Chain A
């Protein structure tokens, strides 16, 4: 761990790969070589090396935390790791690669700035690699790193590296990924992870860590369209401070854009308008605030506002509809069929929803859309139509990851069964009360 005396930013990334790609070894190597491990962790590694590893340190033991995983030798769930260098702090979501756990990959990737796809240099691009690239694209992860691993087993062949790069770039034009970096590595031996490899004089680029430290995180947050889903109405009961008797604040996290004192806002779906009187925080009032800050807004007018309402810039309205189209990742063993009812959680509200039609399923090997499908099975990705009991106030997922996403919850089991990304709205919100003006 490194002492940090100046503000640093945070890069969140996830790793994907098949069971034997060496994903856990790669993370182990990043932690080990960046000196982010402590003596007791290294001791524990060495202890298990003596018992089970024939004396060879197994870096994968660092991340394969649960006993079931150690027994099966695979990673079964999302594990989070933390490390820091003087330049940045990092959160790693280590997500499993085998087919039946795609839901964990979606989970780990949903908050990531960057995704690392591992490819075994001997095998080249396989279905798993394509699936992960497609998920990264659907989830709009801004940056992708393709780490071509086990280069030592193909004699550090530049030709093999370029061949795999070509295979991967072949289907890139069909994806929504702007920034892709290819790096030849050997996670087991540490080549091009933290220190540059002597075996790749033909590779002029940065090491993996070098890239993670310097990649420009073009803001992951929408700073253009002000959106504030009301989370909690802040109204002190019997305050001892008399100035707070009439305090009525609206607490929440800005999920898009910037807000300023004096700004004209609209509350949706009601359509009431007002202006921002105060931006309240425990540390004192602010003149302006931005996504993803958490704060409490006080408006000029005392309006009827509750959790689930959305406060937006009066001059920049999102969409609103109770008929929606979305890409969905299905995460439950029981397949999704048209007609099923769910609870849909979107920003701070949960509404009843019914999936009215399954439009298509994405073939994850070819990225082709298969129409005329009756159901989406676990780990399928596809487009659906949804009808909700109340209109949602939303943006397209491509514009805003927070106001464009939802989860589906199965009534009864309460399981989270689907992750949805909304397509851009076709109509802008129109106030419920058109004649209402203050």
Chain B
């Protein structure tokens, strides 16, 4: 007798494809948030699986801080082109110029500043749904996130007033001005993402693999050397062989010393890892509720 049984990656894949098709069917102007990072790379493959042989019926949107790794931007543009998709980029720099975003005194990280830029882009293109690559295993506040995450007309998330999600029935109905964030990878872990990248033979930006880089010791971790935030005299600078585990902007992303040069190496490294992925992101360490606060304000 044949076994009609899905393994865990097949299960996660079919769940995500189902969600992407629901978005394409129930929303008028959806977009896929594509940063070039590993999670959104998986999203694009899932979009291909959901919609081919047709074109992917929604544009890609990237909210860039202006502090990205150059390798990431090159990859982002190339991948969008390969897939024949329309890529829309809106940047924090533009928003600062137009006064849409205002930098707090002494604020260097532009993570917070992505919020008004994203909300402005949603308004500009009248997007009613944005598909993002966030996963529940990343962080505690995300653990309570729905697949279809409802946002009010200010883009805010209200964790106490979420729509129940039952079976595979997603309620995508909106009133004017409201919109939806949709997270098809909700049930994926960091390990699942890399196993999927391996299985699907997906290309990822080179900075995920080990490479030589000048690093600065800050907040107990190695961060990339950048002119945006020159090291203080007291901060140690060293040339190291590193890779990044998660990509934020260049001044808040930690580098881990690693010899991993292949996806298999990375999988082995994660299996043995003793800190979480977000443990290398300075933006989440601000307070225990850092992510919760940003999400309530409209962060993805």
Residues of A within 8 A of B (CB): 1-4, 7-10, 38-41, 44, 48, 63, 65-68, 76-82, 84, 89, 91, 103-104, 106-107, 110-111, 219, 221, 223, 231-232, 234-237, 239, 241, 244, 247, 249, 251-253, 258, 280-282, 290-294, 307, 331, 343, 345-346, 348, 401-402, 405-407, 409, 414-416, 419
Q: Which residues of B contact A3 (CB under 8 A)?
A: 267-268, 271-272
- Which of B10, B21, B49 neighbours the largest number of chain A CB atoms within 10 Å of its CB? B21
**A292 in complex: contacting residue of B14, B50, B271, CB < 8 Å:** B14
Shortest Cβ distance from B13 into chain A, in angstroms?
8
Looking at the assembled complex, report how far the CB atom of B182 sits from the nearest CB atom of chain A, in whole angstroms: 15
Q: B49 and A282: CB pair below 8 A?
A: yes
Q: How far is the CA of A38 from the CA of B276 in the complex (A)?
A: 6
Within residues 1 to 43 of chain B, which ones have a CB less than 8 A from any CB in chain A? 4-15, 17-18, 21-22, 24-25
Given contacts A7-B7, A110-B166, are A65 and B22 in contact (CB under 8 A)? Answer: no
| A282 touching B52, Cβ below 8 Å | yes
Closest Cβ of chain A to B175, distance in Å, is 6
Point out the residues of chain A lying under 8 angstroms from B186, CB to CB: 80
Instruction: Provide 27 A-B residue pairs closer than 8 Å at the C-beta atoms, listed in order of the A residue.
Output: A1-B271, A4-B191, A7-B9, A8-B7, A9-B6, A9-B8, A38-B279, A41-B276, A48-B288, A65-B141, A66-B292, A67-B289, A68-B160, A78-B144, A80-B144, A82-B187, A106-B164, A219-B4, A231-B22, A232-B21, A282-B52, A294-B18, A343-B173, A345-B171, A401-B167, A402-B167, A416-B166
Flag if A82 contacts B14 (CB, 8 Å): no
Assess whether A66 is in contact with B144, with CB atoms less than 8 Å apart: yes
Please determine whether A281 and B49 come into contact, CB atoms closer than 8 angstroms: yes
Q: Which 7 residue pairs spanning A and B have beta carbons closest together?
A: A65-B140, A3-B271, A7-B7, A40-B279, A294-B17, A290-B4, A414-B173
Q: A39-B275, A44-B288, A66-B141 are in contact. Are A76 and B160 (CB under 8 A)?
A: yes
Say yes or no: B25 contacts A80, CB within 8 Å.
no
Q: Which of these, B167, B168, B271, B275, contacts A38 with CB under 8 Å?
A: B275
Task: For residue A242, give the distance in angstroms from its CB to the closest CB of chain B.
Answer: 12
- Give the docked Cα–Cα distance between A221 and B12 (Å): 15
**Assembled-state Cα–Cα distance A119/B68 (Å):** 51
Also in contact, A253 and B53, with CB within 8 A (given A9-B7, A66-B141): no
The answer to whether A232 and B6 touch across the interface, beta carbons within 8 angstroms, is no
Chain B residues near A48: list those with CB within 8 A. Answer: 288
State the B residues within 8 Å of A (CB): 4-15, 17-18, 21-22, 24-25, 48-55, 136-137, 140-141, 143-144, 159-160, 162-169, 171, 173-175, 186-187, 189, 191, 195, 267-268, 270-276, 279, 288-289, 292
Q: Is the CB of A107 within 8 A of B164?
A: yes
**Does B53 contact A247, Cβ atoms closer than 8 Å?**
yes
Per the bound structure, the CA–CA distance linking A293 and B143 in Å amounts to 26
In the complex, what residues of A have CB within 8 A of residue B49's CB? 281-282, 294
How far apart are the CA atoms of A245 and B187 in the complex, in Å?
A: 37
Q: Are A1 and B160 in contact (CB under 8 A)?
A: no
The minimal Cβ–Cβ distance linking A419 to chain B, given in whole angstroms, is: 5
Known: A231-B22, A415-B163. A409 touches B191 (CB 8 A): no
Question: CB-CB < 8 A to B292: which residues of A?
Answer: 65-67
Closest residue to A7 on the B side, CB-wise?
B7
Find out whether the CB atom of B175 lies under 8 angstroms from the CB atom of A414: yes
Q: Among B15, B160, B274, B276, which residue has its beta carbon within 8 angstroms of that of A77?
A: B160
Task: Report the minimal beta-carbon distance from A282 to chain B, rounded to whole angstroms.
Answer: 5
Inter-chain CA distance A401–B168, complex, in Å, is 10
B11 contacts A10, CB within 8 Å?
Answer: yes
The winner among A1, A106, A110, A294 for most chain B CB atoms within 10 A is A294
Q: Report B-chain residues with C-beta under 8 Å of the C-beta of A294.
A: 13-14, 17-18, 21, 49-50
Interchain CB contact under 8 A, A419 and B143: no
The smallest beta-carbon distance between A158 and chain B, in angstroms, is 37
User: Judging by beta carbons under 8 Å apart, are A231 and B25 in contact?
Assistant: yes
* Minimum distance in angstroms from B283 CB to a CB of chain A: 14
CB-contact partner of A236 in B24, B53, B166, B189, under 8 A: B53
Is B169 a contact partner of A405 (Cβ separation < 8 A)? Answer: yes
CB-nearest residue of chain B to A8: B8
Q: A249–B54 Cα gap in the complex (Å)?
A: 10
With both chains docked as a complex, state the minimum distance between the C-beta of A422 and any C-beta of chain B, in angstroms: 12
Measured in the bound complex, the distance between the Cα atoms of B165 and A48 in whole Å is 32
Q: A67-B292, A293-B14 are in contact. Are A106 and B166 (CB under 8 A)?
A: yes
Question: Which chain B residues lie closer than 8 Å to A82 at the CB level?
Answer: 136-137, 187, 189
User: Using Cβ atoms and an 8 Å threshold, which residues of chain A touch B52?
Assistant: 282
Q: Given known contacts A414-B171, A414-B173, is B21 in contact with A231 (CB within 8 Å)?
A: yes
Given A66-B141, A80-B186, A252-B21; 7 other pairs, CB 8 A cutoff? A1-B273, A8-B8, A40-B275, A237-B54, A239-B53, A292-B6, A292-B14
Contact residues in A for B21 (Cβ distance below 8 Å)? 231-232, 251-253, 294
Q: Which of B14, B15, B55 has the most CB of A within 10 A?
A: B14
Given A76-B160, A82-B137, A292-B6, does the pair A253, B54 have CB atoms closer than 8 Å? no
Q: Which residues of B contact A249 (CB under 8 A)?
A: 53
Q: Which chain A residues border B144 with CB–CB below 8 Å?
A: 65-66, 77-80
Q: How far is the CA of A347 from the CA of B12 in the complex (A)?
A: 19
B4 touches A234 (CB 8 A): no
Residue of B7, B173, B273 ringed by the most chain A CB atoms within 10 A: B173
Nearest CB in chain B: distance from A236 CB, A: 5
**Closest A-chain residue to B269, C-beta based?**
A3
B54 near A419: Cβ-Cβ < 8 Å: no
Q: Report B293 CB to chain A, min CB distance, Å.
A: 9
Contacts of A348 in B (CB 8 A): 22, 25
Check if A282 sits within 8 Å of B48, measured CB to CB.
yes
Given A219-B5, A253-B14, A414-B174 contact (CB < 8 Å): yes
B191: A residues at CB distance < 8 A: 1, 4, 84
Q: Which residues of A contact B8 (CB under 8 A)?
A: 7-10, 89
Which residue on chain A has the smallest CB distance to residue B276? A38
The CA of A346 and the CA of B169, in the complex, are separated in Å by 7
Decide: A104 and B164 in contact? CB cutoff 8 A: yes
Kindly state the separation between the CA atoms of A223 and B160 in the bound complex, as whole angstroms.
37
- Of chain A, the residue at the smallest CB distance from B136 is A80
**B56, chain A: closest CB distance, angstroms:** 11
**A290 cross-chain contacts in B, Cβ below 8 A:** 4
Q: Which residues of A contact B7 (CB under 8 A)?
A: 7-9
Q: Which residues of B contact A41 (CB under 8 A)?
A: 276
Task: Tell whether A235 pairs with B271 under 8 Å between CB atoms, given A251-B21, A401-B167.
Answer: no
